[in-house]
Homo-oligomer: A and B are copies of this chain.
Amino acid sequence: MDLEKLFRPKSMAVVGISKKNPLSPGRIVLLKNEFEMDVDVYGIYPSGGEIEGIKLYERLDKLPIIPDLLVIAVGPDDTLEYIKECGDLGIPTSVIIGGGFAEIGGKGKKRQEQLEKIAFENDIAVLGPNCLGVYAPPIVDTIFLPTERITRPPKGSVALISQSGGVLVDQFFVKFNERNIGVSTAVSIGNRAVVDEVMLLEYFSQVDQETSNIAFYLEGFKEGKAREFLQKAKESEDTVIVYFGGKTREGKVATQSHTASLAGNYKIIYNALRQHLVIQPHSERELLTSLKVYDVLSQRRNPFKNNVVTYGNVAIVSVSGGHAVLASDMLKKYGLNAVRFSPQEKRDLKGFMNPTAQEIASFNNPIDLTGSVLDTDIEDVIRYLSSIERIECIILLLLPYPPNISFQIGRRIANIVLSKNKPTVCFVPYVSKYSIIIESLELANIPVFHSIKETVQAVSALKHRTRVNNIKKGNYSWE
């Protein structure tokens, strides 16, 4: 199946347009692609005519071309007719927005079986039914919600595949945007009657050049597909991340894994995924944190060029004692350790400080520079720590409340990180007046978080990726 034409179509047609209701799904999809996206768009309407200056064709076979993609926004029985027509005309891909299939059981289930039969016989890559479809900027967007109502995430390296459309546009788009995580293609798979997680994993791993990280939000594997998924995940050159949402984790995962001949409890699934080098965040927040750092590592201007966090050895630098303690407390949970400084290193560190801070700062790791700190103290400390080889990553808890920290501090730190390439993750409070500090760091692709927990999670994510990369490169295989 030609998924390339599903995600990067040159042309698309839309059926299910209402002339009366400007908010009908088909009409929204028609107009948003015509006015906002790069794909060539054709509308189908039984009596022809036009909408907002777009000519409407009476039938699919009256179109001047064979479109790469057909978006179907009609009832379930008519949907089947259109899929048949795709087969007849040679339309290679389709997004089915509407429901009325397996999710309603009974006759819906039969309909879905018919749908699968037609699609596989005619080699049509059908996405859905019962889904939002594809968001692949700048080419195509089949999400039938008005663009001005949803939040579009920035462009980037993450292919995002979700079993729930609502979770995709709300939980992910909103939070990707907040965190500045970039998406290559977002896919709502709905009932995944034809195109499923295995095909998508294969496509984004092997075909799509824009994607470096493939993230799945699933409520369970498709029946019988778990083994194949695991195998493809292990072979993928991209970083594969799977998060099971909802009750799925212990519930549906277990069920699905059973039919896929894996033992029926989550621990076994967890271990199987781990062995197959799939990264599994423990929460939705950790998923977002991981994607943020992986997206950064995929940038051409990756600030952590020599990123290897094998053991999780970190140095924590804070200007607040309480924050340093909270961060330290979390290290163990995330498999990280604070390196120990030698007496000479402590003396060196102390030597960098201004006289006032020198008296009260502590250098045990966590390093507490205190509220008496100056920009130059922070700079010198970060530069020094960057040169210590056994420190794999620096956690900088940067609270700009002390009066002597300047608003240039973000740029100053960015310059050091970019010259030293030591992985450095920063906490900066999410307060609009500090946006210049946050932006200075993020413009240099240095990830900034707004909770201590996420900052620590980020290092853990770097460690997971180092492990996966080492095994994939055959460097070693440790568990």
Mark A residues whose CB is within 8 Å of B: 23, 28, 99, 145-146, 148-151, 164-167, 169-170, 174, 178, 219, 245-247, 319-323, 325-326, 328-329, 360, 371, 399-404, 429-431, 433
Closest to A332 in B: B247
Given A145-B371, A174-B430, A431-B174, answer yes or no on A166-B247 (Cβ-Cβ < 8 Å).
no
Is there an interface contact between A325 and B246, defined as CB atoms closer than 8 Å? yes
Chain B nearest CB: distance from A364 CB in Å?
14
Is there an interface contact between A247 and B170, defined as CB atoms closer than 8 Å? no
Chain B residues whose CB sits within 8 angstroms of the CB of A178 once the complex forms: 430
Is there an interface contact between B323 and A403, defined as CB atoms closer than 8 Å? no
Is there an interface contact between B174 and A23, defined as CB atoms closer than 8 Å? no
**This chain: copies in complex:** 2
Closest to A371 in B: B145
17 contacts between A and B (CB under 8 A): A23-B404, A145-B401, A145-B402, A146-B403, A149-B433, A151-B429, A164-B322, A166-B321, A166-B322, A166-B323, A167-B322, A167-B323, A174-B431, A246-B322, A246-B325, A246-B326, A247-B329
Q: Cα distance A150–B403 when bound, in Å?
A: 10
Q: Cα distance A413–B247 when bound, in Å?
A: 30
Is there an interface contact between A165 and B322, defined as CB atoms closer than 8 Å? yes
Is there an interface contact between A429 and B321, defined as CB atoms closer than 8 Å? no
Chain B CB within 10 Å, residue with most, of A148, A322, A326, A328? A322
Contact of A403 among B23, B321, B329, B404 (CB under 8 A): B23
Chain B residues whose CB sits within 8 angstroms of the CB of A170 once the complex forms: 320, 323, 399, 401, 429
Contact of A246 among B149, B164, B329 (CB under 8 A): B329
Closest to A217 in B: B322
Q: Cα distance A151–B148 when bound, in Å?
A: 31
Chain B residues whose CB sits within 8 angstroms of the CB of A164 once the complex forms: 320-322, 325
Q: Label chain A's interface by main secondary structure.
A: loop
Closest to A188 in B: B322
Is there an interface contact between A169 and B401, defined as CB atoms closer than 8 Å? yes
Closest to A166 in B: B320
Q: Cα distance A431–B145 when bound, in Å?
A: 16
Chain B residues whose CB sits within 8 angstroms of the CB of A429 once the complex forms: 151, 170, 174
Chain B nearest CB: distance from A401 CB in Å?
4
Chain B residues whose CB sits within 8 angstroms of the CB of A323 once the complex forms: 166-167, 170
Q: Cα distance A174–B320 when bound, in Å?
A: 15
Is there an interface contact between B174 and A247, defined as CB atoms closer than 8 Å? no
* Other 8 A-B pairs with CB < 8 A, given A145-B403, A169-B401: A148-B433, A149-B401, A164-B322, A166-B399, A174-B430, A178-B430, A245-B322, A246-B326
Chain B nearest CB: distance from A172 CB in Å?
11
Chain B nearest CB: distance from A304 CB in Å?
26
Chain B nearest CB: distance from A406 CB in Å?
11
Chain B residues whose CB sits within 8 angstroms of the CB of A433 once the complex forms: 148-149
Closest CB pairs A-B (n = 4): A166-B320, A164-B322, A23-B403, A166-B322
Q: Cα distance A148–B433 when bound, in Å?
A: 9
